[in-house]
Structure 1
Amino acid sequence: MSNETAVQTPERGPDAGAGSGQSDLARNAPLHGVPAPAAHPSSSAPAPVSAPAPASASAPREHRHDIDLMRLVCSVAVILGHIGGVFIAAVERQEANGPGAYWTGHIVEALNPFAVPMYFAIAGWAVLVGAPPRDSRRMWQRIVRNSVPLFVWTALYLLWGRAWGTNDGPVSRLALEAVFGSVRPAYHLWFMYAYIPLIAALAFVVLVRAGKRPWGLGAVLLVLASAPSLMGDLERWTGWDLPRFGWGFGVYQVAYALGGAMLFALPAGALGRLAGRRWVWAVPMALTAAGVLWYHTRVHYVIPNAHLLVAVMTGCVLLMVTRVRVPERWVPLLSKLAGASLGAYMVHVMVISAIVEPLVSADVPGAVAGPLFVALLAATVAVSFGASLLWGRLGLRRYLG
C-alpha cells in the first residue's frame, strides 16, 4: 500500500479485541475487524423481515476470528511491500544500479497487492453485514473514531519530518493541506481519506434502506462530492493557491467493499469441498503474483489497485482465509495482535525510515539482499506491533489506533 513518495505511488499506499456487538472497524479504523459476543450463529444474511432494518442490538453476532487473521495478514503484507519499496527506491527503480536490491524489492512487492483491496473488502463486510449501523449517531461515532487517529498521526508525521529534515515544505502549509486530504509526509495515510467517506456512503445506504433519514451523512457526502469542483472554481476566481481536495473514493474501492461483503458473508459450508482444500486458491494467487512481477518490471510500477491481476489475487487470498478455523489456543494472541494492527499500520513508516532506509543501499549483493530483507521485515513488524501494544496498554488506542 504505497503513495506519493519516492518509494511508491499513490495507488498502493491501504482498514481491538472482542467487545460489544459494534464493529471494532467501526470503533477504531480500517485495520480493525468486527467483534461480537461469543455466540456463533450462522453468518449468512439475516432472515427477511417485513421492513429492512439493521441487526437488532440484542441479536448475537459471531466473532469472526478468520477476519482477525485476515487483518493481521494484511498488516504484515503492507509492511512487507513498503520495505520492498525501499529496496527498489535504493536503486532508483533501475536494475543496472543494483540487481540484488532491485529483484529482492520487486519479488516481495509482487506478493502484497491484495492488502489494500482486502481492507476495503473487510470494510464493506463490516458496514453492510457484520455490524451495520443502527442509527446516524452510531455512525458518527465510527467516523470520529476513525478520524482522530488520522489527524493525530498526521501531526506526528509532520513533526517527525521536521526533526529528520524530510518535509518538503513548511509545516503550517503541510498541515493545512492535510486537512483537505494531502498525504504528505505520511504517504500511507491516503487510505484513510478514501476509507472514511466510503464507510459513510455505505452506512447512508444501510440507514436509508432501514427507513432512517440520515440527513447529516447525506450533507457530508454532498460536500465531499462537490468540493473538488467548488475549490477549483474558487481558485480560478480568486487566484489563491488552494490545497488539493483528496477526500473521496473510487469505483474500484466500492467494488472491493461490495465483493468483500458478499464473500465474507458466505456461510461456512458454501464453498463445499473447496473449504477443506484451500491450497487450491494458492495456485491462481501464485500466477497473479508472477503477473504482478512482470507488470512491475516490464509495464509500470506500481500496479493499480483496480487492475484485474490485483482483483484476482485479492479474491484468492480471501477465499483461502475466510471461514478458516483458528485453533482456540491461538485466539488470545491473534485477538491481541489484530487489535494492534491499526497502530502498527500507522507507525510502521516511521520505523522503516529509522531502521530500514539507513541499512539498504544499491550495492547490497544478491546473496545478502534476501536475508537482509527478512531481518528488516522481522524487526519492523516487531517494533511496530510492540509499540502499538504498548500504547494500547496505556489507554491511548482511541488516539493512536
Structure 2
Amino acid sequence: MPTNTSTETASTTARDDGRGGPPAPEAAPGATPEPASERGQEPPAGAATSGDAAPRPKEREHRFDVDLLRLVASCAVIITHVSAALIHAVDQQRANGEAVYWAGFVGDSSTSFAVPVFFAIAGWAVVVGAPPKDSGRLWQRLARNTLPMFVWTAIYLVWAFTRDRNEDPIADLAVDSLFDSVQPAYHLWFMYAYLPIIVMLGFVVLLRAGQRPWGLGLLLLGLAGLAPALSTLHEVTGWETPRVGWGFGTYSVIYAIGGAFLLAAARPVPARWRWPLVGLALVSVLGIVWYNTDIHYVIPNAHPFVGVLSVCVILLLVRVRVPERRRALIGRLANAALGAYLIHVIFVEELVDRFVEPDFSAVQVAFFLPGVLLMTLALSYAASLLWGRLGLRRYLG
C-alpha cells in the first residue's frame, strides 16, 4: 500500500502486497465526518414536544479515540516510508549495511498496521460513525477525497519532471493516473482501493435505508467492468491500455467491516487485557520482521501477522479516554492527516533518500533515523496545517 520506495519496482511491489498507505481519507488520513447538521439525527428519548418548541436534535457522539487512532495510523504510514528508504538504501541486503538494514526493517514492520487500520476506520465511518443520509452526501464525500488525490498526482508529476525523475512522458503518466497510481505518486495507490470500498459500503447503507441510489450502482458496475473492458480493447485493437488500480481485495473489505465492528464498541478493553494485547502485538511485530527479512518483502496486508497486530492496535485505542486539554490538538492534527499523507513522500525523497548512507554505523543510525522521522512528520503536518488555514483543504487534502 502507499508504498515503500520511489522506484518503479517498489511501486509495483507495494501495489501487489498492499503496503504503504493513507491515508484514507474520510476515514482515512485527514477526512472528517459530515457536520452534525448534515447527519441523520433523532430527538432524545422523552424530549418535550409540546407547544411551538421543536425537539432538540440528539448530536452524534464525537469519537476522540477515533481521531487519535487516525492520527496514529497516519504517522505510522510516514514512518513506514522513511524506514523503507533505509531498506532500499542497502538494496534489502544485510551485508550492505547491517545497522541501516535492521533499523529499516524494524521500523517498517512495526508500522504494518497502518493501512488495515485506515480501512477499519473507513468502514466504521460509513457504516456506524457517519452513515450517508442520501446518495448526494456520498457523492460529496467522494469528491472531497478524489479532488485532492488528483491535484497531488499532478503536483508529483510536475515535481518529478522538474527534477528529471519521470521515466515516462508526463502526458502518458497523467493519463495512466486516471486508472491507477503512477510514479512518483506511488503512495496514492491506497486511494484507488479506499474510494471503491466507500462507494460499496455507502451503497449498502442507503439500500438498507430504503433508498435506490442508481448512480452509485452504475458507478460500482463501471468500476467492476473497467479492467475487462480495457483488456478487451487491447485484444481487439492492439492499443496499449493503462493498468487499472480501481478496486479492492477481500482483505480490505474484511478490515473495513471488522473495523466497523471493533470501533462500535461501547466500552474500552478492560485493563487486565491490555498488557496481554501489548505482548501479542510485539510478538506479531517479530513475526512480521521475520517474514520481511527471511521470506519476502513486503509482507501482504492480508497476512495473519499483520491482521493480529492491527486488531491489537485498534483494541488498545478503542474508547480510550483522551484528556480534554488534548482533544482540540488531536482533532486539528487528525484533520490535517490526509494532507500530511499526500505531501510526505516529497520530504522522504528529498531528505531521507538524499542523505541516508548504507554504511552508517549503529550510532549514526540512532541519530539519523529519529531526526529524519521527526523532520518529515513536522514538515508534512506543518504544510497541511498551513494550507488548512489558507482555506485550501478542499484542493490539497
TM-score between both structures, scaled by the size of structure 2: 0.90
2:20 paired residue among 13, 23, 26 = 13
Verify: 1:392 aligned to 2:388, yes or no. Answer: yes
Offset, 1:284: 0.4
Q: Is the 8 A contact 2:89 2:357 kept in 1?
A: yes
Deviations 1:53-98 (A, max 9, x none): xxxx944111100011011111111111101100010011111111
Q: Is the 8 A contact 1:126 1:261 kept in 2?
A: yes
- Report what 1:119 is aligned to: 118
**Structure 1: how far apart are the matches of 2:292 and 2:324?**
40
Give the partner amino acid of 2:21.
Answer: P
Counterparts of 1:202-351 in structure 2 under 5 Å? Answer: 202-268=201-267, 271=269, 273-274=270-271, 278-351=274-347
Deviations 1:359-379 (A, max 9, x none): 101111122112210000000
Deviations 1:309-356 (A, max 9, x none): 000000000000010000001111111111111100000000111111
Counterparts of 1:114-153 in structure 2 under 5 Å? Answer: 114-153=113-152
- Report what 2:26 is aligned to: 25
Q: Is the 8 A contact 2:29 2:335 kept in 1?
A: no
**Structure 2: how far apart are the matches of 1:321 and 1:142?**
26
Q: Which consecutive residues of structure 1, in runs of 5 or more, have no partner in the other structure? A: 16-23, 39-45, 47-56
Deviations 1:154-204 (A, max 9, x none): 000001111111111000000000011233221110000011111000000
Structure 1 consecutive aligned stretches of length 4 or more whose deviation exceeds 6 Å:
none
Give the partner amino acid of 1:362.
Answer: P
**Structure 1: how far apart are the matches of 2:257 and 2:84?**
29
Offset, 1:268: 1.5
Q: Is the 8 A contact 1:37 1:63 kept in 2?
A: no
**Structure 2: how far apart are the matches of 1:286 and 1:13?**
20
Offset, 1:36: 6.0
Q: Is the 8 A contact 1:33 1:71 kept in 2?
A: no
Give the partner amino acid of 1:385.
Answer: Y
Q: Is the 8 A contact 1:36 1:61 kept in 2?
A: no
Give the partner amino acid of 2:319.
Answer: R
- Report what 1:41 is aligned to: none
Offset, 1:5: 4.2
Offset, 1:13: 2.5
**Structure 2: how far apart are the matches of 1:356 and 1:99?**
17
Give the partner amino acid of 1:251.
Answer: T
- Report what 1:157 is aligned to: 156
SS at match of 2:248: coil
Q: Is the 8 A contact 1:97 1:362 kept in 2?
A: yes
- Report what 1:377 is aligned to: 373
The percent of aligned pairs where both chains have the same amino acid is 49
**Structure 2: how far apart are the matches of 1:122 and 1:396?**
24
**Structure 2: how far apart are the matches of 1:300 and 1:384?**
30
| Corresponding residue pairs, total | 371
Q: Is the 8 A contact 1:36 1:60 kept in 2?
A: no
**Structure 1: how far apart are the matches of 2:314 and 2:82?**
23
Offset, 1:209: 1.1
SS at match of 2:216: helix
Deviations 1:204-258 (A, max 9, x none): 0011111100000000000100111111010010010111111111111100000
1:282/1:258 CA distance change after superposition, 3 Å: same
Give the partner amino acid of 2:162.
Answer: A
Give the partner amino acid of 2:157.
Answer: L
**Structure 2: how far apart are the matches of 1:344 and 1:136?**
29
What RMSD in Å do the two structures reach over aligned CA positions?
1.9
- Report what 2:168 is aligned to: 169
Q: Is the 8 A contact 2:180 2:245 kept in 1?
A: yes
Q: Is the 8 A contact 2:124 2:259 kept in 1?
A: yes
**Structure 1: how far apart are the matches of 2:371 and 2:303?**
31
**Structure 1: how far apart are the matches of 2:306 and 2:26?**
23
